[in-house]
Structure 1
Amino acid sequence: MRIKDFAVEQWMNTWETRCRFNVAETCCDSLSIDDLFELGGASASEFLGELAGRRLTYGHIEGSPEFLSGVCSLYRTVGPEHVVPTHGAAGANMLVLSTLCGPGDHVVAVMPTYQQLYSIPEMCGAEVSALHLDPADRYHVDVDRLMALCRPDTSVICINNPNNPTGALLSTEELESIVEVARSVGAWLVCDEVYRPLNAAGEYQESVADLYGRAVCTSSMSKAWSLAGIRLGWVVCKDDDLRRRLLSHRDYDLISCSMLDEAVGAFALAHKDALIERSRRIVRDNRAVLMDWVAGEEHLSVVEPEGGTTALVYYDYPMDSYEFCTRLVQEEGALVTPGDCFEEPRSMRIGYAYSADPSGLREGLEAVSRFCRTVEGELQAGVRA
């Protein structure tokens, strides 16, 4: 099978260890083990000492009871029998979409979104119809347009809530309307919910796993939980036959997740209130910094993100986004993600939660501003010439 290059990941692979300001980072400021246990009010040394005595077996193939219980606590109606642990949300999306999609299938996927949600179905031979989200609608799903794209043979609808890269957040009512579209054609509703705990209101955000029997949700310990380094995610699926198929596929490329990662993940979710309070504070404070900065830049515009940690910021300079972002990191050390990675020209994805201290974000944004002044100077010189 052939698959398109994964544009955003290849961009990050190239630059994220070579920049001064990682304004492309999409995780809330990452935690160390010491940070995690301080937040949880427990002893890291005791925990690590207990881990050091464990035999390094495969562990619980279908997930440790403690980790599964922690995941279930994030939903209203999900039990351990509905959860399949994976290597991150990337592993979860690959597992789900490669299991559900094949030649002859019809898939509807929102765009812009994380590229896995449309490129994996294409790799598997499915026909993919794109539902292009409109900034005039704040990048929310237009249910009438979604219905128009669906067919009697549509097998999968892919959405992302909150949306990456735009930060659009679908309400419970909007999710219920999307569920009705999926139900009307008998489609699976796949929702990447990796940013779900993060929204502007700081409230519980509904999951489609609790709204629809044929919903399949993916998430991870990375974005909201600041623990990307443990590479731990999950699938939530209430359909017994599909869960069996997911586990069968998983046997070929995963077998089980790391027992060490699951132990850390279980501890984090056992103390989820402290972690999510921290992440929501970071997002709230830094979003205000981002919006003030955009308001002060006459050549930039953005639809204010309602959830997650990312925003899609547009510029009006006559410059390709790869050129803009490459020169930016080379000349000012600030890394952002080209909008063309999401098929959105003349824009950049900014990750605004990468620093727990808003001053860290301000420094990165000031570097972007300096580059904007450079571009404007070059354009003015070109006009005069």
Structure 2
Amino acid sequence: MNIKPFGVEEWMNAWETGARYNIAETCVDSISMDELFQLTGENKEDFLKNFCSRRLTYGDIEGAPALKRGIAGLYHSIHEDEIVPTHGATGANHHVFYSLISPGDRVISIMPTYQQLYSIPESYGADVKLVHLKKENGYLPDLEEIRRLAIPGTKMICINNPNNPTGALMDKEYLEEIVKIAESVGAYVLCDEVYRHLTQEDIWSESIVDLYDKGISVSSMSKVFSLAGIRLGWIATHDQEVLKSLFSHRDYNLISCGMFDEAVASLALKHKDVLLERSRNIVRESLAVLDAWVQSEPHVSYVKPKAGTTALVYYDLPIDSYTFCEEMYKTTGAFVTPGDCFEQPHSMRIGYAYGTESLKDGLKAVSKYIRLKGEYNA
């Protein structure tokens, strides 16, 4: 299989360790196990005693019942038997394509988004068509363009809601328009929903699976629940043929998830409201900090995110984003992601939810670098 290098992950792997100000991180400020027990009020000793007495088998092959109950509680209509646990959302996205996409299949995706959503189906020989998100449309997909590309027999439409890297959010009405297009050609809609529920307003975040029987939701414990270290994600769908294919293909590449990962996730999801409140408070406070900085910094601009933990920020200096981000890292210690990782030149993705003080310090460092470059290019 030939596949393009994964731009954003290669950048993170190369530079994240040693960053002085990490404002590239996309998870809401990660928590420790001790913090998880403090937040939930669960008894740590009882949890560990119970787990340590268990034999370390493969566990529940199709997922621990408590885990699947917790995941189902994040949706309006999903049942426990309509969930496939995976190794993170990256494992979930890959598994969907691995299970459903064949050479020649028409797949419609968007850009910018997480690269898996177009590079993996392309590597399988799919006929991938991209819809480019535009600032002037608030980074929402052009419905007419999707409609034009959705020819009879289209296999899948891939979206990301909230969007990474822009923070754009499609509401129920917008998603329903995409569902109508998919229904007209019998296509699946795969929605990467790893930032779902991280809204700036107190609203219910719609999931594609609550709106469409052929909708496929992917998510994880990493971003919203601050538990990336347990590497646990899932796929949710009502489509029984899809579920059959997912479980069949799972025997070849996954078998089961880790018992400890599932136990920790089950505990966290039992107290999802507490963790969601914490995460929403962090993203709202942090976005206010970022927005104030953008308004005060004359060399940058953005479309203010509606949800999620990331923003795509443009700068007006005559320098490509890889050079910009690498030089800034070496000069100031500020670590952001080049926009060119998402094929968005002269921009950077800023992750704003990994600690307010770190964000403030990191943004000061970005301004310092911009001033230095501005003086150099004057």
TM-score, normalised with respect to structure 2: 0.99
| SS, match of residue 282 in structure 1 | helix
Deviations 1:130-182 (A, max 9, x none): 00011101101221121012111211100000000000000000000110000
Equivalent residue runs for 1:124-273 within 5 Å: 124-273=124-273
Separation in 2 of the partners of 1:57 and 1:20? 41
Once the 2 structures are TM-superposed, how far is the Cα of residue 76 of structure 1 from its aligned partner?
A: 0.3
Displacement of 1:98 after TM fit?
1.8
What's the secondary structure of 1:61's corresponding residue?
coil
Task: Give the corresponding residue for 2:9.
Answer: 9
Please say which of residues 319-328 and 40-49 is displaced more in the overlay: 40-49
Counterpart position of 2:295: 295
Q: CA deviation at 1:361?
A: 1.1
Deviation of 1:359 (Å): 2.2
> Hey, what's the Cα distance between the residues in 2 that align with 1:345 and 1:117?
20
* Alpha-carbon contact 2:100-2:245 (below 8 Å) kept: no
Partner Cα separation in structure 1 for residue 368 and residue 44 of structure 2: 42
What are structure 2's unaligned runs of at least 5 residues? none
In the other structure, the counterpart of 1:320 is 320
CA contact (8 A) 2:167 2:307 kept: yes
Greater CA deviation, 278-287 or 39-48? 39-48
| Structure 1 position 47, deviation (Å) | 1.0
CA displacement at 1:372 relative to structure 2: 0.7
- Local SS of the residue matching 1:234: strand
> Could you say what the CA RMSD is over the residues aligned between the two structures, in angstroms?
0.8
Match of 2:87 in 1: 87
**1:335: which partner in 2?**
335
Taking the aligned partners of 1:237 and 1:273, their CA distance within structure 2 comes to 23
Rounded to whole Å, the distance in 1 between the matches of 2:42 and 2:240 is: 37
**What corresponds to 1:360 in structure 2?**
358
Query: In 1, Cα distance between the equivalents of 2:337 and 2:202?
Result: 26
**1:55 aligned residue:** 55
The CA deviation at 1:99 is 1.6
Equivalent pair of 2:169/2:306 in contact (CA under 8 Å): yes
Partner Cα separation in structure 2 for residue 153 and residue 209 of structure 1:
21
**Secondary structure of 2:167's match?**
coil
Q: Tell me which residue corresponds to 1:77.
A: 77
Identity of aligned residues (%): 55
Deviation (angstroms), 1:328: 1.1
Distance in structure 1 (CA, Å) of the matches to 2:183 and 2:273 = 34
The alpha carbon displacement at 1:45 in A equals: 2.4
Aligned residues: 378
Structure 2 residue identity aligned to 1:155: K
1:202: how far off?
2.9
**8 Å CA contact retained: 2:22, 2:358:** no
The whole-number CA distance in structure 2 between the counterparts of 1:368 and 1:48 is 43
Q: Which runs of 4+ in 1 moved over 3 A?
A: none
1:195, 1:224 within 8 Å by CA — same for their partners in 2?
A: yes
Deviation at 1:51, TM superposition (A): 1.1
Is the 1:202–1:280 contact (alpha carbons within 8 Å) kept by the matching residues of 2? no
Distance across 1 between alignment mates of 2:30 and 2:165 = 19
The CA distance in 1 between the partners of 2:12 and 2:357, in whole Å, is 23
Instruction: Report the AA paired with residue 377 of structure 1.
Output: E
Runs of 5+ unmatched residues, structure 1: 381-385
- Give yes or no for contact 1:313–1:349 (8 Å, CA) kept in 2: yes
2:283 is the counterpart of 1:278: no
AA aligned opposite 1:362 = K
State the distance in 2 between where 1:280 and 1:242 align. 33
Amino acid in the other structure paired with 1:89: A
